[in-house]
Chains A and B, each alone.
Chain A
Amino acid sequence: MFYLTEITIIKRKVLTLLCEALLNNEYQKIREIPNIISPDKSKSYSCCIHHDRAITRDRIKHLLGLNLNEFSNKSWNTCIDTALNTSANVEFLSVMQNSCHQCPQKRYYITEACQHCIAHPCKLNCPKQAITIQAQRAMINEELCVECSMCAKVCLYNAIIEVRRPCENACPVNAIKTNEDNIAEIDLDKCILCGRCLLSCPFGAIVEISDVKDLLVALKNKVEIDVMLAPAVVGQFSPKASLQQIAAGLKLLGFRNIYEVAEGADIVAELETQELIEKVLKTKKLKFLTTSCCPSFVYCIKKHFSNIKENISHTPSPMIQLAQMLKNKQINSSSKKIVFIGPCLSKKKEAKDSGGLVDFVLTFEELGCLFAAKKIDVASLTPAELANSATAKGRMFAIANGVTTAISNTIKQNTDLNFSAKLIDGINKENLKILKAANFGKYDFDFIEGMCCEGGCIAGPGVIAKPSISKKLLDELLK
């Protein structure tokens, strides 16, 4: 579900101030950001402003690409100087140790709602005799409790609650572990970079890698950079801003040509349809085919359901497809760079693994902060031309079921074949069961559309706009 938190606001304010300092070459100002964010005691949001400021410093260090473990004891000035002269050395997702609240591990609590009743269903039904009745209240013996949840289910007052770490609870693939200091840790072998832990942490302790610094340095050195905008971009920077106005804003920031990734998606829809017909519908070489456009979905299959990894489509994702086209046409020669701007965290990894096809990735949130830093109001600008155009088919990729619609339209146009599709709308418990069954050879479909985020890319971890608004605006554009 999409909602705004204080953490989101702080994160965006910090990034905006950092962008402002980097854009104006006022490196001295970076030093001041923690004091601007936490000016005095009255505005403290943790135990004290000193802790607040330390957390903001960590956040900035990480945004600048410094590994927090290496730079925890270095002075603030040294950190900034080093960061400005070195390239990033951080994981795609990491936990800021000093910010992690060390939340309680999964366990059951008996709350004040306990009425000290005569029935004691909690005590009688506990298989481990972990519950005793003391001083007007049932108590759980933590050493005996096996977290079976029986007590919570049978309590007539719903007085027993389950408390889990928000990050652990949000992770669909159990990639959050706890280290010996009780601090959350991300198991990178399991992580699919969906970004849910990052959004769910109430203390903002989980942070992502950022290309903002490197990108601004490249812009300053007059490197020619082309932009590829993901189809979910509509409405991200203001519900009043059009695609052409966003392009105008990007040009003001110093970017060269602005492309819609949806053109890549148009071609992916054609290629993937051919692949589906050849490999599944006509020859039965494969039992079914899955989409390859969502990298988190692809990582999920590769890491957790390896029996069906051959079923992932070999068609490149729209981002890679378009980047290849730009390189092939030599519109984009080696001295020029490409930045992909999208809603997605896992695209950052896909781009790094692309062998130099895509040089930078920004999220909409990061670009929004850049606009704010440069005081660009996108919706007030005179529209500018985009360098390519796309059709509704490709633009639909941003919404769940869009790929299926595009492919079924393509099939209907060219053949009289039928196929049955399964939509994985968000990697969650229910949908993981479908993948698990498929992994064991149980399936009743020819095609899976895999979307890591429920609702599609418009609900990605890097969006600014509410997904329901993006969907409305995108629907208008698709007409």
Chain B
Amino acid sequence: MKILKICVGTCCHLLGSYELVDKLNEMDAQRLYDVKIELTTCINSCQSKSAQPPYAEFNGKIIENANIDKILNCITAT
């Protein structure tokens, strides 16, 4: 089971990270069959000046400016 962490810290939540969780939960289970979605508090990626929230993390890889496409691409690539 691989773990997809979606940050729902204040900064990411403000920019709609929970919408990602919602959409992923509604999606076709086949693409996400061995992926467990976890909600996490701030993963400290947003602290830098050039940060691009919302953030997600898959298999230790940080996804910035996360959207459904980026997350699915990352899952397919690993």
Contacts and interface: CB of A to CB of B under 8 A. Distances in A.
A466 B18 contact: yes
A237 B39 CA distance: 14
A219 to B, nearest CB: 18
B28 to A, nearest CB: 21
Contacts of B11: 371-372, 375, 377
A119 interface: no
B53 to A, nearest CB: 8
Contacts of A371: 10-11, 14
B22 A379 contact: no
Interface stretch (A151-159, A238-246, A350-358): A238-246
B52 to A, nearest CB: 10
B56 to A, nearest CB: 15
Report which residue of B10, B16, B22, B46 has the largest number of chain A beta carbons within 10 angstroms of its beta carbon. B10
Interface in B1-54: 8-11, 13-16, 18-19, 22, 39, 41-42, 46-47
Q: How large is the interface on B (under 10, 10 to 19, 20 to 34, 35 or more residues)?
A: 10 to 19
B39 to A, nearest CB: 6
Interface string A367-379: 0110110011111
B34 to A, nearest CB: 24
Given A4-B19, A377-B41, 14 more contacts: A9-B16, A12-B14, A238-B8, A238-B9, A239-B39, A240-B8, A241-B10, A371-B11, A375-B11, A379-B41, A379-B42, A380-B9, A464-B14, A466-B18
A453 interface: no
Contact of A377 (B9, B16, B22): B9
B8 A379 contact: yes
20 contacts: A4-B16, A9-B16, A16-B14, A237-B14, A238-B13, A240-B41, A249-B10, A365-B14, A368-B13, A371-B10, A371-B14, A372-B10, A372-B11, A375-B46, A377-B10, A378-B10, A379-B8, A379-B42, A380-B42, A469-B18
Interface residues of A, number: 27
A238 B18 CA distance: 9
Contacts of B10: 237-238, 241, 249, 368, 371-372, 376-379
Report which residue of A16, A372, A377 has the largest number of chain B beta carbons within 10 angstroms of its beta carbon. A377
A375 B8 contact: no
Contacts of A376: 10
A451 interface: no
B50 to A, nearest CB: 10
Contacts of B46: 375
A465 interface: yes
Return the 10 tightest CB-CB contacts between A and B, nearest first: A377-B42, A377-B9, A379-B41, A372-B11, A368-B14, A4-B16, A371-B10, A237-B10, A380-B41, A238-B13
Nearest to A237: B10
Interface of A: 4, 8-9, 12-13, 16, 237-241, 249, 365, 368-369, 371-372, 375-380, 464-466, 469
B18 A465 contact: yes
Contacts of B19: 4, 466
A312 to B, nearest CB: 35
A237 B13 contact: yes
Contacts of B9: 238, 377-380
Nearest to A241: B10
Report which residue of A12, A237, A238 has the largest number of chain B beta carbons within 10 angstroms of its beta carbon. A238
Report which residue of B13, B16, B41 has the largest number of chain A beta carbons within 10 angstroms of its beta carbon. B13
A260 B39 CA distance: 27
A85 B10 CA distance: 31
A7 to B, nearest CB: 12
A12 B10 CA distance: 12
Given A377-B41, A466-B22, A239 B14 contact: no
A263 B56 CA distance: 38
Contacts of A4: 16, 19
Contacts of A466: 18-19, 22
A474 B20 CA distance: 22
B22 A464 contact: no
A237 B9 CA distance: 8
A379 B43 CA distance: 11
Contacts of A12: 14-15
Contacts of A240: 8, 39, 41
A147 B77 CA distance: 53
B45 to A, nearest CB: 11
Nearest to A246: B10
Contacts of A380: 9, 41-42
A238 B8 CA distance: 6
A417 to B, nearest CB: 43
A397 B46 CA distance: 35
A238 B41 contact: yes
